[in-house]
Amino acid sequence: MRILHTSDWHLGQHFMGKTRLEEHHAFLSWLVEQVQAQAVDAVVVVGDVFDTGTPPSYARELYNDFIVKLQQTGTQLVILGGNHDSVAMLNESRNLLGCLNVQVIPGVMADIDEQVIVLNNASGAPAAVLCAVPFIRAREVMSSESGQSGADKQRSLQEAIAGHYQQLFARAEQHSAQHHQQHGQRLPIIGTGHLTTVGASSSDSVREIYIGTLDAFPVNAFPPLDYLALGHIHRPQKVGAHEHMRYCGSPIALSFDEIGQGKEVLLVDFEQQHLSAVTPLSVPVFQPLARLTGNLQQLKEAMQALAAQHTQPVWLEITVSEDDYLSDLPARVEALAEGLPVEILLVRRARSANQQGLSDASGLTLSELTPDEVFERRLALEELEAPVAKALHDLYRQLITEEELS
C-alpha cells in the first residue's frame, strides 16, 4: 500500500504582483506523472489547497483539472481543508467529487464517521484506515465560554482537538479489528492534521505561528497512529525524531525565505500492516527565486552571476546595503537588472529594520512590514516605560489570539 502525502499547494497565490499559475500547473502535471510512475494507491492532500477562501477561477480550474487527470489513473484522492481554505467553498463540490473517487473533508463533519475513510490498494481491497482530520476551527469542536482567558481557551481547544483525534481513532480501530477478524490482519491507521506541533519550525509565509492561533499541539496528544500526515508548515520535516510523523511541506516556495528548503512530496509505504518506508520525492524548481544583499555594485555582480546560472528568469528579493540612503533606489536597482533574465519583485533597505516610524524618509512601505512589525513600530513611537510597553505588547498578543480563536 503506497500513499502520496502532499499539502499546502496554495493554488491562486498572489505573490508580490506575480501569479503562480505556471508553477502550479507544472507541479500538478508532475504530480500525476509521479502517481503513475510510482504506483501510488492513494493521494492525501493535507490542507491549504487554495491560498484564499475565494480563489480566482484559474485556481479552481487547476484543482478541477487535476482531479479529472488523477481520476483517470484510478487513484483514490482525499482532500482536507486547511486554514487558508474556505469550508463552504470546498464543500460546494464535495458530493460531485464523491462520484470521482475523491473524498473531500472541508472541516469537522457533523457526522464524524465521514472522517473515517478506508483506503484501498490497487486491487480495490481495503489496505488502510484514514482518520481524516482537516484544519480545526475552535467553534467546530468547542462551545465558546465567555470569560475564559486566552490561555484557558488555548488549553480547551487543545483538549477538544485531542478528543476529536481519540474519537476518530477509536472508530478506525474498530474497522481495523473487524478486518482482522475477517482477514486475519489488521489495517494500519493513518491520521492527518493541519496544525503546528511542538518541534516543527516555521517560515515567513506561515504567519499564524507568530501570532499564535494554536501555539503548538503537543505531539503526545495524538493517538498511536501508524503514520501522521501533517500540513501547515511549509518546510518538510519530521516531528521530533519520529519517522512516522511528518510535514511534507509546500511543493513550491511560497515566500523568499523558503528558498533552498528542498521541496518534496512523500511516498509512504505500508507492508502488511506496518509502516515500512517514507521516501521523499523532490519537486523540481519550476520558478527559480533568489535573495540578494549588497551595495549596488555587489548587486550588479550577483545578478550577472545568477543570470549565467539560469536559463529562465529568476525572481529576486533585493536588500540594498550602504547605498540604501538613495531616494531613487528602486529605479537604480531596476536599472541594474536591465537586459538580464531577472525580475525584481521586492527591494528592501538594509537599514530599514533599525529605523523608527511606520513610514519614514526611506520610503519604506507597509507591504515590506509584517503586521507584528507595524505594531512594534507604532509602539516604539511612544515614550513608554518598559512595563507599560510590555503590557501593551501582551494585550496585543492576547487580542490576536482571541480573534483567531473566535
What single DSSP character describes residue 188?
A: P
Q: How far is the CB of 8 from Mn ion (least distance, A)?
A: 6
Q: Give the nearer residue to Mn ion in terms of CB position, either 82 or 191.
A: 82
Q: Is 183:165 a contact under the CB 8 Å cutoff?
A: no
Smallest distance, Å, CB 391 to Mn ion? 31
Using DSSP, state whether 273 is helix, strand or coil: coil
Provide the Cα torsion 386, 387, 389, 392; round to 10°: 170
Distance CA 11, CA 157 (A): 29
Residue nearest to Mn ion (CB): 232
Smallest gap, in angstroms, from Cβ of residue 48 to Mn ion?
Answer: 4
H helical segments located in 287-380:
296-309, 329-337, 371-380
Q: How far apart are CA 298 and CA 295, in angstroms?
A: 5
To the nearest whole angstrom, how small is the minimum distance from the Cβ of residue 254 to Mn ion? Answer: 10
Rounded CA separation 385/406 (Å): 32
Q: Which is closer to Mn ion, CB of 254 or CB of 337?
A: 254
Identity at 269, one-letter amino acid code: D
Rounded Cα distance, 398 and 405, in Å = 10
Q: Which is nearer to Mn ion, 67 or 214 (CB)?
A: 214
Considering the complex, state which of residue 41 and residue 48 has its C-beta at the smaller distance from Mn ion: 48
The distance of closest approach from Cβ of residue 27 to Mn ion in the complex, given in angstroms and rounded to an integer, is 17
Query: In whole angstroms, what is the distance from residue 187 CA to residue 208 CA?
Result: 35
Q: In the numeric block, which cell numbers belong to residue 302?
A: 550577483
Smaller CB separation from Mn ion, 82 or 193: 82
Residue 126 is given by DSSP the state: E
Of 55 and 188, CB closest to Mn ion: 55
In whole angstroms, the minimum distance from the beta carbon of 4 to Mn ion comes to 19
Q: What is the DSSP letter of 137?
A: P
Q: Which helix (H) or strand (E) holds 168?
A: helix 150-183
Provide, rounded to whole angstroms, the least separation between the CB of residue 275 and Mn ion.
25
- Interacting residues toward Mn ion by CB under 5 A: 48, 82-83, 232
Beta carbon nearer to Mn ion, 75 or 197: 197
